Amino acid sequence: MLARHVAMQTPLKLRTTSVPTTGKFFKVEDVNQDLVVELRDATIEEGLLRDNQSHYILDLCNEISPSTTQNLPSDEDPLKITSLTLKSEFLYRDGCWEPTKIPKILRSAGSSQDRLSTSLRHGRTSRTTNSSRAQKSRSSAHTKQQASSGSGVRTETVRRRIPRTSQEESVQGTFIPVAGSEENQVANWLNEITHALEPFIPPVPATLDRVLTRSAMAIPLRSWSSDTSRKPVKDALMPWKPDIILREKLAQVVYGPHPEFLWSNVISFVELTSGSYSYSDSLGAIRNAIIQKAYTIFAAQPNRRFVFALSIASQKFHAHMFDHSGAVHSHGYDIHRHPRMLLCMLSILAFSNIEQVGYDPTFIYRYCSVSNFQRIQVTHFTYDIVKCIFYHFLIHGRGTLCWHVHHNKKNYMIKDSWTHASRVNRETDILERIKDLRGVPHLIAAWMVEIGGSSDRTDTRHPIPLNTLSSDVRVHRRILMQPVGTPLSEFKSIRELLSVLINILDSTSKPIA
């Protein structure tokens, strides 16, 4: 009970894999510091590379789904577009998002002043204060507004009528939005852009063997929601509140009352802040908040191969990609001057198949939901999942999973892991050499997971910078074994534990026949 109470107060994570997640919390530490150590030498920052022209995530979008991105509106500059319309109304034109459509938190200070000047050109008189003290006060308020990060509180110029006169005045007012209102505006804006992209997405016929492929109509399978911006998602030790999340369209998942939203339903997410993007590892930095939520997705979704995340900080758009080789953070793209990066990410996340947004298609899904899987593939056979025996959830590393499965009335154990490319066959070679020993697992099959006819490797999407001497390429591997064991931590009494240890010593002391 004590460990559970502590876990509700501070995000915690096991320091060692020797203690299963179903056991007691013998040693815990703050997840923020743990993730900093885990990703310290496995993070690529495009903005800090010597080659400032590298656009790894943009190139990845064009590679994993060229049919989705090649028809997007474009300009001579590969990061720009000409215009974008929805139902005959402009969303983007003349190098800027339409001021009446874009949420207030995403408007730049310059464009806000231009629109204010335009609105005042109607012959109205204005009472202004020319004292230097008032100018310094407004300058100080503007500085405080720029320094605030993600608070939503900002100073704006407001027009109001002077009582008992026909004149108007401009005053500085403090804007305090209702909790969740700005996130809701941005979510609706992203959904509008997604629907505006429908004419540019080529239709793909639905297939019978894939329950989650797109239909013959190019309609988005997923939508953005800000429901999690006001209260944390419950099904995790970490009480995070993503500003905006991408989820399956509810009509495609269930009919009738909708179930409670869980971390296993999060496909991607967006973090917002009015402050600048920071490369700091401090707890309050937006970059660190993105890492924490990506870690939570991996912890809640054992069928996840990689995760895309987005962030918008002070009108700068960043894309983030996490897999078992580490993390990649993109350049900061001005959402007005370089909107094509935003359109590429939105089109990939909304229209692409499940494997293109990071899910493992070798799981067999039910009810058209990526959070509902009951079968797993090894070589040419599929096995019914009984339960997950062990899961070492992390971002960078092996991410070992052990499944209890059965097939044709026989029980098996599947070990699923992301093995370093230099150690792909080491475990299977050892199992082959000791197969005649008593008390060791019997190897049934070993399979390098294949997706689309090729091996599932991190180097197909995770870049290797030219200035690095070593690489951490991971290969997705599954081993089918017998018999099925139970973790030692699940013993019900000291007598049961001692009997297991005696059996182990007894089996290893007998000579091999």
User: Measuring CA to CA, which residue among 256, 236, 245 is closest to residue 290?
Assistant: 245
- For each of the domains in the chain, give its residue range(s) and CATH number, in order of start: 1-37 (no CATH), 39-76+179-358 (3.90.1570), 379-509 (3.30.200.20)
Task: Map residue 469 onto helix, strand or coil.
Answer: coil
Q: φ, ψ for residue 459 (rounded to 5)?
A: -75, -5
Residues 6+ apart with CB under 8 A from 456: 305, 448, 449, 450, 475, 476
Strands 43-45 and 326-329: parallel
3-class secondary structure, 481: strand
Cβ 488 vs Cβ 499: under 8 Å:
no
Low-confidence ranges of the chain (pLDDT < 50): 1-29, 110-151, 207-217, 252-254, 467, 469
Tell me the per-residue pLDDT of 127-181, one tens digit each, with 9 for 90 and over.
344 444 444 444 444 433 443 444 456 677 778 788 888 888 888 777 676 777 8
Q: What is the DSSP string of 242-285?
A: -SEEEEE-HHHH-SSSPPPP-GGG--EEEEEESS------STT-
Q: What's the pLDDT at 188?
A: 94
CA torsion angle 492 495 499 505 (round to 10): 110
Q: How confident is the model over 459-510, as pLDDT tens digits?
A: 888 877 554 545 789 999 999 999 998 777 788 888 988 888 888 787 666 5
Strand partners, 246: 224, 268
pTM listed for this prediction:
0.78
For residue 252, the model assigns a pLDDT of 47
Integer distance in angstroms from the first to the last C-alpha of the chain? Answer: 49
**pLDDT value at position 30?**
61
